[in-house]
Amino acid sequence: TQSDLLVINKTDLAEAVGADLEVMDRDSRRMRGDGPFVFAQVRNGEGVTEIAGYVREAWRGTTGQSASMNA
C-alpha cells in the first residue's frame, strides 16, 4: 500500500550521509505519481506547517468537519 503522505525528514543531514535530495524528489514523484510528499526538517520547524495542513485536511475529510473549524 501507499502512504497518504510521505515525509522525507532530516533533509539537513542528506549531504552528511551521501543522500541526494534531487534524486529523492525524482524518485518520489516517479513512485508516488500524484501522491503528496514533503521534504522536512521537523526539528528545525521546516515542513511542519505543510505536514500539519495535510493531516488537518485529511482529518476533515474523514470527519466531515468544515475547513473553517480550528484544529
Per-residue pLDDT tens listing for the chain (71 residues): 489 999 999 999 999 999 999 999 999 999 999 999 999 999 999 999 999 999 999 999 888 877 665 54
Is residue 51 in a domain? Answer: yes
Pairing of strands 37-39, 6-8: parallel
Q: How many domains does the chain have?
A: 1
71 within some domain:
no
State which amino acid sits at residue 17. V
Residue 27 CA to residue 69 CA, distance in Å, equals 35
Rounded to an integer, what distance in angstroms lies between the CA atom of residue 14 and that of residue 42? 14
Q: Per the domain annotation, does 16 fall within a domain? A: yes
Verdict on whether the full-model pTM lies above 0.75: yes
Q: Pick from 34, 38, 1, 3: which is nearest to 21 by CA? A: 38
